Amino acid sequence: MPIILPGQTPGADIYAITDSDLSLGRSNEEVARALLSAGVTILQYREKHKDKGAKLAECRVLREMTRAAGACFIVNDDVDVALLCEADGVHVGQSDLPARDVRRLVGSGMIIGVSTKNPEQALQAVADGADYIGVGPICATATKPDAGPGVTLSYLDWVVANIQLPFVAIGGIKRTNIGELARHGCKSCALISELVSAPDIAARVAEVRHAMHAGQDGPAR
């Protein structure tokens, strides 16, 4: 399948991330099926509290589902799991392996995303060979307690003006604030609880997408 990067492909406006603790008792497979059926084309597997064996087993199932749907599958943090399940990419944070070292492990064919919260980190990610960057947390979020306070929209504006790589905004993004990010030039947003905690995931995807596209039609404030 072709490489899908945030904001560059239909359906990549929403970058969906799993979290089984927030999924109302549904399995990651159930959640992924709903997201993919709703037209989401980027899915990241993110499970912080499971052992590697359980992660690999789930990732192999989600890899087949995303492959069948023509969607991009990203694994958070675990480079070994990403390689073993033949994911399309891996996403790493500032406390994980640097992108330049991840590239030595995964080769040229795998997407590498890097979380950033300031210009210095963004420029380093570019220098290290990242394929895209995460921008955030935009708002404080309970999904990742150690993420710290939200970054200001001025950092998002800086990324839009200065970084040529694709980027995805992340952190506390809801259907109620995604329009403002779109007005600031954001073309792809990562959502976790807003999607996986929705009783009707397909309807929530439609609501989020509508709010984002409505924001793209208005000027930044």
Torsion, Cα 152 157 163 165, to 10 degrees, reads: 80
- Is 144 catalytic? The answer is yes
Q: Which of 63, 144, 175, 183 is labelled catalytic?
A: 144
Whether 166 contacts 5, CB under 8 Å: yes
Q: Which of 46, 63, 183, 209 is labelled catalytic?
A: 46
- Is 48 catalytic? The answer is no
Q: Which of 23, 55, 63, 115 is labelled catalytic?
A: 115
The burial class, CB within 10 Å (0-12 / 13-18 / 19+), for 48 is exposed
CB neighbourhood size of 127 (10 A): 10
- Is 209 catalytic? The answer is no
Q: Which is nearest to 202 in space by CA: 30, 21, 2?
A: 30
Catalytic annotation, residues: 46, 115, 144
